[in-house]
Amino acid sequence: MSGVGHKFARLARFIALSATAFALSCSQPPQIARDQYPLPEDVEISKCKPGKYGGIFVLAASQEPQTFNPLISSDAYSSMVIDMMMAPLVTYDPFTQESAPALAKSWEISPDGKTYTFNLRHGVKFSDGVELTADDVIFTFDAIFEPLRGPDGKPKIDPQTKRPLLKNPSRYAGQFTIGGEYIKYRKIDKYRVSFTTKTVYAPFLTDIGFICILPKHKLESAVKNGTLQQQWSTQTAIDNPSEIAATGPFCIFAYKPGESLILKPNPHYWRADEKRQRLPYIDFLIYKFVADANTSTILFATGQCDAAAVSANDYAWVKNYANTYDFKIYERGPDSSISFIWFNQNPNKEPDGKPYVKPYKLKWFSNVKFRRAIMQAIDRDGLIKSVWFSRAVKLHSIISPANKKWHNPDTVKYEYSPETSRQLLKEEGFYYGSDGRLRDKLGNAVEFDFMVADGSQNSTTTATTFVENMKAIGIKVSLKFMDFAAIVSKIDDTFDYEAAMLGFTGGGDPSGGKAIYRSDGFLHVWNPRQKTPATDWERRIDEIYERQEAELDTRKRRELIFEMQQLFSKNLPLFYLTTPMSYSGIQKKWQNVRVPPLGSIIWNLEELYERD
Amino acid sequence: MIGFIFRRLCATVPLMLAVSVMVFLLMYLAPGDFLSQARSSKDISPEIVRQEEMRLGLDKPWYVQYARWLNGVSPIKTNLLLPENDRQKHGIVYFGQPDFGYSWSYKIPVSSLIFQRLIPTLILALASTLLSYAVAIPLGVIAAVKKDSLFDKISSFLAYAALSIPYFFLALLAVLFAAVTGVLPTGGQTSIMYEFMSPAAKLGDYLRHLILPTLVLSVGSIASIMRVMRGNFLDYSKLDFVTTARAKGLSENAIMFKHVLRNALNPIITSLGFAFAGLLSGALLVENVMNYPGLGQLIYAAIVKQDQYVVMAGVTMGCAMLIAGQLIADILLALSDPRIRLENAPIPWKRLSVFVISAAAAFALVTYLCQASQSFLNILVFLGKWGGIIILALLAVALVAGLAWAAVFFCKNLLKDIIKTRRGAAAMGALAAMYALAFLAPFIAPYEPTQQCLDKSFHPPTALVWRDGGICAKVYKNVDPSIAKYEPVDGQYLKIKFFCKDENSKYKIFGLIPFKYKLFQCQNKAPDSRVFLLGSDSTGRDVFSRLLYGARISLSIGFVGIAITMTIGFLVGGLSGYFGGTFDFVAMRFVEFLMAVPGLYLLLAMRSALAPHFDSSQMYIMIIAILSLLGWASTARVIRGMSLSLSNRQYVMAAKAMGERPLKIIIRHFLPNVLSYLIVGATLSIPGYILGEAALSFLGLGIQEPSASWGLMLSQAQNDTKVLMLGFWWMLTPGAAIFAAVLAFNMLGDVLRDIADPQRNFK
């Protein structure tokens, strides 16, 4: 039987090979012209081993970019592609976890810590050959903060928040509102710009790294006539890819919606190797769009694409193909995302006077000992063993252990112990009825609805395990699957739920978590948008948050963030679940691969070259 | 003919309006909106969200949003609905290009977005329709002509098999096949190097990528068209005119191809129209699994993201395609069957206008009240929910009773005949066994379907051995937890005890008599001593137990659905074919309305609109009801096609002349004639519901955890790639169960068809 299977596989491989040979015989990628243009005056010389030009790098993407406009992209997939094409002033070095020069070759910080002056590289050009200067930087920030004007020319004001409306609404205006005011910026000369914040703001360099500099000569008219939002859309990439003037290593060669996006080297890129060969080495970068993450994993495992993030779930089988298809998988440690379950502790009422959460249930949910009992009844070890085949770790803090710089390893840890949780419940006056169900002092059976986003296999298994764990301590949990939009509207708008599960992507500077940490944040999910902090510990967290923003000393800032994590773990508003290990695979033929502690394995794609 | 076409085209305008209002309303009722994702991102401030809300017009009530959309689409526009800034540019009424709006997520005009995706979908649909008709019609004819030959048997067995595989599962297997062998591309429309190819190579590459999706899409329809074709052909070949022709000494070929084939093609031609409509929703699952960049994928994503204008444009397109398809079907039918008259009585404007005005008024009143007070909406939802459930329950009980009556009738008259045939006996036996297992699940299943064993995930099926005078299960050890590899431990066994008492069991026979016994269990009651007859799943739940409990849901779906579908379909189709005129006009417009909404999308929209108001279990009943209420429309249309031609038969005319009541004529004279279609249709539909449940679960709309159903279990196996790649084959047993049940139903239906044929006495 196996002999037959073997023969079949051999035949299939033969057919496949001849088909590929046929395909190759008539597919000749065009030559990429190299050394067309001289290197810029302030070229950055990479320390990587000099390689040779050529090769095609294929990546599978399970979703398509929705826009190529860096100002409006809000999804990870658009950002992933835009990052290949557009450069910010400063970038982030994944090894040192510090800011590193990009379009700005250096910067100075004023002694009061409020003014940052950036020195742009001289001679850097957009991919269409026009030089990038301070005017483009100013143009980009003007576009972000440009107010929306009514027919009378006066800025329009949001009737609810009394703040001016923006012509090009993006997340950045909010991000650069520091101390209640927009940051100030000005051009010093052709190659220098300075930014001033109202108060000291520690994560400023990180945040400025999110802004890709836009070409004024391409987009000025669009900002004037109010069509910036529609510029650089997918349609532009189809019809007229050269319109999208890049500053990153790549620019668009062709885009076929639903099929593939092909990037080619930016002929004006500002990095080169020690032999003064302009980067990147590869001829083409192809994003092949596939239906889902499973397909992209299959493509990688069968040698059809060059690099991929491999989930802990798939690692078990993908590694079996490593020798056949000559790739290597790196273990990257725990993932940077966090996932958690929480109880709705919102004490407010609906307009018609009905409380969001039934008062007797709210009493349970806001009792920290009750929450601790629940936490200790969740069998995370079991989940890790069964679902993840031991390729996951328990999460003990609101910041994942992957984020080594900010993760506090010494927060309170709650281990699985249903006995302890029964004990805790009894101490709080709960008792078990003759039917084995848990009841509170007043005799109410303890039960609650638990809403979970549908669609993900892992969240489903976690949820069913949670239900079984609760059953074991006499609590009845009814699972409610909902689509993501429904969950969001419940936690952000209608507040009519009892318990829920959600995950957030993590990594980066903790200042990104403002909306979760602060008591007035809208993602402070258990009790969002508080007017004044409901508890002392929440007040303390608000205080810490404010202080860390103004703290320039990283060591002291870390201490504050550590204290915040400790407060979260002690008071348990969220029951942290597990975080899987992450893996990245790449074909062995690629040289110069350096795997950073956090982030994408191809962060230095421009430096990769193909082995002979 | 031209007048007919013109009238039909005029009738489509209100139809499209009604569909678009309904879809828009459903989108509005669904919780959340396009900005939900933005609202939940930690780095987008609420002010930005509110500003976007105003920019997209999401802060306005739904009817204003709808009016704006309509104003954009219509060629005659008014400036009153434009944003303030643009109002001066146009007069109060002006003409303009139809504008389908902007896609919010792609930031480009919807029309160009749709156009990007329309061509691949059209090509795929055309290829698979052509392939299925080209293959199925000859096969069906040959099978009918050579009835009971080896060819007939093989082809009908293959047809059974093809119809019994959930086709998203087939697509998945095709992808796996392609991935492992590398013979054909795994998905997509072109290969990675397409951009760099010569034109000839591009064409070749394109065709190569079309092969698998076309095959996967065609397999099911080939089988079903073939079966219907064979059935029709057999029906017609027994009619009087064939005997006459034969008596006249006409050659067999001439009889078969000139006389029988032309008649037998009628229903097939009608279904061609629907095949056209199915372009949109039919390909969705395959497009999704095979990563084919078509319209289905686009609209599905748009519904999920609530990208309003894309959904509206997509659904309107689907609607237009369907209407065009039906028009084509009617014209083809008229051309192929000269007995059918297309010119009906003039449109009853007066009655129609009263109907339309009162419906619109009632709709407006309800909308106004809902806007005016939130509590009215709540009352409405409450009434709709419970009223709907009660009515549906009553309807279901009545129909099940009817079905039971029919079943008793069949048992009395037909059971003997069924058992006489080998196939019939096998199918009946298999079905009886499956239903018995499902009914007795709490007694037979050793564990609760939700009971986990986190130490033993993906445990392989336990081997049973005879030892110490009893059956024992081997004990396994997880030798490599990193890939869940288990090996039996030498010398360790678990004794199995039969008919053991289980105090915890809450099972009651018929929900009344408590029954505290289990068929078998481990003698050792330790929590980790477990016997997994069919292995365990990712949290160590017993697949065997879940399969039995899942059978209760999966096997009961078909009956409820089919009872509703067939009854309504037959009555409406029969009556409208019989009466023609007004009744036919109104009924068929209603059928078209139902069918004009691509079912899967309607289901998606309905589900997200209703989900917050219903429990998972109630939701499930809702979905069955929606499915079957949509499903009767197609039966009605086919029955109408048949009864149109029947109503011109002499015996029907004679009955009419004698003053028989219409209902009696329909039941007495039409029913026996269309019975074979109904039976073939019903047997083809019950599996459809079983497979439908699986498909719904695939999209996350079916039964939900922690309950079990076959579809849900299969979709779990399929979402987790490691199940297939590490060879946890027992996770695919629900697929085998679906296959077996569907196969048995198909076989039974076929046998029944041969028996219930009214002409069989003339043999």
Q: Does A161 touch chain B (CB under 8 A)?
A: yes
Whether B517 shows a pLDDT value over 80: the answer reads: no
Cα–Cα distances in angstroms (integers) from residue A135 to residues A141, A208, B348, in the given order: 10, 17, 71
* pLDDT for position B337: 67
Residue at A492: amino acid letter = D
* pLDDT for position B611: 63
Residues from chain A contacting residue B194 (CB–CB below 8 Å): 256, 259-260
Ramachandran bin of A150, using left for φ above 0, alpha for ψ from -120 to 50, beta for the remaining angles: beta
More confident: B717 or A359: A359
Please count the residue pairs, one from chain A and one from chain B, whose beta carbons lie less than 8 angstroms apart.
292
More confident: A126 or B183: A126
What's the token pair of residue A220? 């000025």
- Alpha carbons within 13 angstroms on the beta-carbon side of residue B62 total 18
The ipTM (two decimal places) reads 0.79
Q: If you ran DSSP here, which 8-state letter would residue B462 be given? A: P
Mean pLDDT in residue range B33-50: 70
Instruction: Tell me whether residues B42 and A291 touch, CB distance under 8 A.
Output: no
- Cis? peptide before B14, omega within 30° of 0: no
Residue at A597: amino acid letter = P
Instruction: Look at chain A and count its residues.
Output: 612
* pLDDT for position B412: 63
Helix extents (H) in B597-732: 599-610, 616-646, 650-657, 662-665, 671-698, 710-719, 721-725
* pLDDT for position B355: 64
Mean pLDDT in residue range B326-340: 72
DSSP codes, B19-34:
HHHHHHHHHHHSSS-T
- How many whole angstroms separate alpha carbon B233 and alpha carbon B560? 30
Could you read off the pLDDT of B271-289 as tens digits, one per residue? Answer: 776 666 665 656 677 777 7
* pLDDT for position B282: 61
* pLDDT for position A108: 94
* pLDDT for position A1: 36
| A139-153, B9-23, B165-179: least confident range | B165-179
Mean pLDDT in residue range B608-635: 69
Helix (H) / strand (E) element for A101: namely: strand A98-101
**What SS3 class is residue B707?**
coil
Instruction: Tell me whether residues B484 and A389 touch, CB distance under 8 A.
Output: yes
Whether B758 shows a pLDDT value over 80: the answer reads: no
* pLDDT for position B736: 85
Q: Average pLDDT over chain B, rounded to whole? A: 77
More confident: B396 or B534: B534
- How many whole angstroms separate alpha carbon B450 and alpha carbon B442? 12
| B25-39, B317-331, B499-513: least confident range | B499-513
Q: Kindly indicate the confidence band of residue B747, based on its pLDDT and cuts at 50, 70 and 90.
A: confident
Residue at B274: amino acid letter = F
Q: Kindly indicate the confidence band of residue B411, based on its pLDDT and cuts at 50, 70 and 90.
A: low
Instruction: Tell me whether residues B615 and A522 touch, CB distance under 8 A.
Output: no
- How many whole angstroms separate alpha carbon B702 and alpha carbon B697? 4
Instruction: Tell me whether residues A455 and B36 touch, CB distance under 8 A.
Output: no
Could you read off the pLDDT of A534-591 as tens digits, one per residue? Answer: 999 999 999 999 898 888 888 999 999 999 999 999 999 999 999 999 999 999 999 9
* pLDDT for position A245: 93
Could you read off the pLDDT of B61-83 as tens digits, one per residue? Answer: 777 888 888 888 877 777 777 76
What's the token pair of residue B377? 């909406």
Q: Does A10 touch chain B (CB under 8 A)?
A: no
* pLDDT for position B338: 67
Instruction: Tell me whether residues B700 and A15 touch, CB distance under 8 A.
Output: no
Q: Kindly indicate the confidence band of residue B405, based on its pLDDT and cuts at 50, 70 and 90.
A: low
More confident: B186 or A418: A418
* pLDDT for position B346: 57
Q: Does A394 touch chain B (CB under 8 A)?
A: no
* pLDDT for position A176: 87
Residue of B363, B317, B387 whose CA lies nearest to B601: B317
Residues from chain A contacting residue B539 (CB–CB below 8 Å): 383, 386-387, 461, 464-465, 468
Mutation choice for A interface testing from B103, B287, B546, B725 by most A CBs within 10 A: B725
* pLDDT for position B623: 64
**Which residues on neighbouring strands pair with residue B495, listed in sequence order?**
B472
Q: Average pLDDT over chain A, rounded to whole? A: 87
Percentage of chain B lying above the pLDDT 70 cut: 78
* pLDDT for position A127: 93
Q: Kindly indicate the confidence band of residue B242, based on its pLDDT and cuts at 50, 70 and 90.
A: confident
Residues from chain B contacting residue A337 (CB–CB below 8 Å): none
Considering only CB atoms, B719 lies closest to which of A256, A457, A481, namely A457
Instruction: Tell me whether residues B107 and A233 touch, CB distance under 8 A.
Output: yes
The residue with tokens 């579809």 is B711
Helix (H) / strand (E) element for A3: namely: helix A2-25
The residue in chain A having the minimum alpha-carbon distance to the alpha carbon of residue B451 is A468
Supply the Cα-derived Rg of chain B in whole angstroms: 29
* pLDDT for position B756: 62
| Cα distance from N-terminal residue to C-terminal residue, chain B | 41
Whether B761 shows a pLDDT value over 50: the answer reads: no
CA A222 to chain B, closest CA, distance in angstroms equals 14
Instruction: Tell me whether residues B31 and A175 touch, CB distance under 8 A.
Output: no
Q: Kindly indicate the confidence band of residue B489, based on its pLDDT and cuts at 50, 70 and 90.
A: confident
Task: Decide the pairing of beta strands A609-610 and A260-265.
Answer: unpaired
* pLDDT for position B607: 66
What's the token pair of residue A100? 């590193």
List all residues of chain A from 279 to 298 with a beta carbon under 8 Å from chain B.
286, 288-292, 294-295, 297-298
Mean pLDDT in residue range B717-745: 83
Average pLDDT across each block of 10 residues of chain A; the chain has 612 residues. List them in order. Answer: 46 51 57 86 92 92 85 77 92 87 94 93 93 95 88 78 78 83 92 93 87 93 84 85 92 85 94 92 90 82 90 90 92 90 92 89 93 94 90 93 89 93 93 90 92 83 93 91 80 88 82 85 88 92 90 89 94 93 94 89 92 82
* pLDDT for position A189: 93
Q: If you ran DSSP here, which 8-state letter would residue A309 be given? A: E
Residue of B212, B232, B213 whose CA lies nearest to B224: B232
* pLDDT for position B676: 64
Supply the Cα-derived Rg of chain A in whole angstroms: 27
The residue with tokens 């549906």 is B392
* pLDDT for position B617: 62
* pLDDT for position A479: 87
More confident: A477 or B754: A477
What's the token pair of residue B28? 């509005």
Q: How many helices (H) and strands (E) does chain B have?
A: 28, 8
Instruction: Tell me whether residues A158 and B41 touch, CB distance under 8 A.
Output: no
